[in-house]
Amino acid sequence: MKAQIKNDAPPMEARGLLTQFGANVIHENLDFRINRGEIVGLVGGSGSGKSVLMNTMLGLKEPEGGVVRYFGEDRRDLSFEERRAINNEIGVLFQGGALFSSLTVRQNIIVPLREHTDLPEELMCELADMKIHMVGLPPESATLYPSDLSGGMRKRAGLARSLALDPSLLFLDEPTAGLDPIGAHAFDELILGLRDAMNLTVLMVTHDLDSLYAICDRVAVLVDKHIAIADKLEKVQKYDHPWVKEYFDGPRSRAAMSAGGKSKTKAAN
Ligand SMILES: Nc1ncnc2c1ncn2[C@@H]1O[C@H](COP(=O)(O)OP(=O)(O)OP(=O)(O)O)[C@@H](O)[C@H]1O
C-alpha cells in the first residue's frame, strides 16, 4: 500500500459516478478529485447527497456506475488485503464523534489499534496518549468517558481516534456542527495544524461558511446530482448557479467573509 501512496496519483478520485437508491438517483455522471495535501470543503443543499458521496468514496456504498480510484487504483481491482490497507489509510470523523460510551477516551482510541495491529498493550496506550496530546486534549482526559466531555472535547476525542492509525486521508462529516464560534474556530485551526504536521489530505463535508473561508484550499459544490465546480473559493463564489448565489450571497456568508478568514493554502490546484 505504501508503494501506491508514493505514486503521483490523487489520493481519491471518482469518475462518472452513478449512485441511486431504487429509482432515486442521487449522483449522476459525477467527477470529483481530491489532490494530495489539500483541504477540500464539500458543500451542497440538504439532501443533495454529500453523505452518500462520502460513503461511496469510503467504500461503504457500492456505486451503481462509474469508478472510485484510490491512489490511481480502481477499488474493484484491489484484493481484500489491499482494500483493508487502504481503509487503514483513511480516517473518518462522523458527526457526533461516534465514540463508544462505555469506553474511556484512551480505550476508544485503542480500538482501531487493537483491530489492525499486533502492538503490545503498553505501546498502544502510549500511542493513544500521543494522539490525545495532538488533538489538544489534556492528559487527564485519557481516563474520562465520553459523557464526561464537552461537545468540543468529544469532537477532539473522535478526531484522535480517527488519527489512531496515522491515516493519509481524513474525512470529516460536519466537524464544527454544534460547536460555538470560538470552539469551531479552534477546531478549524486544529485541522489546519494537523494537516501540516501529518501531511494529511482532508475532505470536509460542511455547512460552516467560516470553515470554508478559514481553512479550505478548494470548495466542491454538489448540486444537480454532480460536482458543478471544485475550485478556489473566490472562483466558486462567482459560479453562476442559483444555489451557489443563495449560499454565498446571504448575510451569513458576508459575515464570514468580513471576519477575515484567510485560507492558509499549502497544496492548491
Ligand atoms: N440508505 C438510504 N436509503 C435510501 N435513500 C437514502 C439512503 N441514504 C440516503 N438516502 C437519500 O439520499 C439523498 C441524499 O442524502 P444525503 O444524506 O447524502 O444528503 P446530504 O447532502 O448529506 O444532506 P444533509 O446536508 O441534510 O445531511 C436523500 O434523498 C436521502 O433520502
**Which tens digits make up the pLDDT trace of 60-113?**
899 999 999 998 889 888 888 888 888 888 999 988 668 999 999 999 999 999
**Ligand 1 nearest atom to the CA of residue 53, by list position:** 18
Round the average pLDDT of the chain to a whole number and report it. Answer: 89
**Which of the residue ranges 68-82, 187-201, 248-262 would you say has the lowest mean pLDDT?**
248-262
For residue 99, being part of any structural domain is answered with: yes
For residue 244, give its domain range.
35-65+80-258
For residue 22, being part of any structural domain is answered with: no
Whole-complex ipTM: 0.97
φ/ψ of 27, rounded to 5, equals -130, 140
Q: What is the average pLDDT across 114-140?
A: 94
Residue nearest to atom 30 of ligand 1 (CA): 47
Residue nearest to atom 5 of ligand 1 (CA): 21
For residue 268, being part of any structural domain is answered with: no
**Ligand 1 nearest atom to the CA of residue 48, by list position:** 21
**Ligand 1 nearest atom to the CA of residue 61, by list position:** 1
Q: Which residues of 181-197 are buried (b: 16+ CB within 10 A; e: fewer)?
A: eebbbebbebbbebbee
Pocket test for ligand 1, best of 19, 52, 57, 206 (most atoms within 8 A of CB): 52
Tell whether ligand 1 has an atom less than 6 A from the beta carbon of residue 22.
no
CA of 114 to the centre of ligand 1 (A): 32
Residue 252: pLDDT band with limits 50, 70, 90 = low
pLDDT greater than 90 at residue 200 = yes
Q: What is the average pLDDT across 225-249?
A: 93
Tell whether ligand 1 has an atom less than 6 A from the beta carbon of residue 26.
yes
pLDDT greater than 50 at residue 1 = no
For residue 26, being part of any structural domain is answered with: no
Residue nearest to atom 31 of ligand 1 (CA): 47
Number of domains in the chain: 1
Tell whether ligand 1 has an atom less than 6 A from the beta carbon of residue 47.
yes
pLDDT greater than 80 at residue 174 = yes
Tell whether ligand 1 has an atom less than 6 A from the beta carbon of residue 30.
no
Cell of residue 154, nine digits:
468529544
Q: What is the average pLDDT across 204-230?
A: 94
For residue 162, being part of any structural domain is answered with: yes
| Residues 47-55: contacts with CB under 8 Å, at least 24 apart | 48/222, 48/223, 49/19, 49/222, 49/225, 50/205, 50/222, 51/173, 51/205, 52/19, 52/26, 52/27, 53/14, 53/17, 53/19, 53/27, 53/222, 54/171, 54/173, 54/203, 54/205
- Report percent pLDDT > 90 for the chain: 68
CATH code, domain carrying 166: 3.40.50.300
Residue 207: pLDDT band with limits 50, 70, 90 = confident
Tell whether ligand 1 has an atom less than 6 A from the beta carbon of residue 27.
no
For residue 49, being part of any structural domain is answered with: yes
Sheet holding 201-205, edge to edge: 90-93, 169-173, 201-205, 39-44, 218-223, 226-231
Q: What pTM, to 2 d.p., does this model score?
A: 0.89
For residue 91, being part of any structural domain is answered with: yes
Query: What per-residue confidence (pLDDT) applies to 68?
Result: 95
Tell whether ligand 1 has an atom less than 6 A from the beta carbon of residue 21.
yes
Q: Which residue has the higher pLDDT, 82 or 160?
A: 160
Query: What per-residue confidence (pLDDT) applies to 222?
Result: 97
Tell whether ligand 1 has an atom less than 6 A from the beta carbon of residue 56.
no
For residue 252, being part of any structural domain is answered with: yes
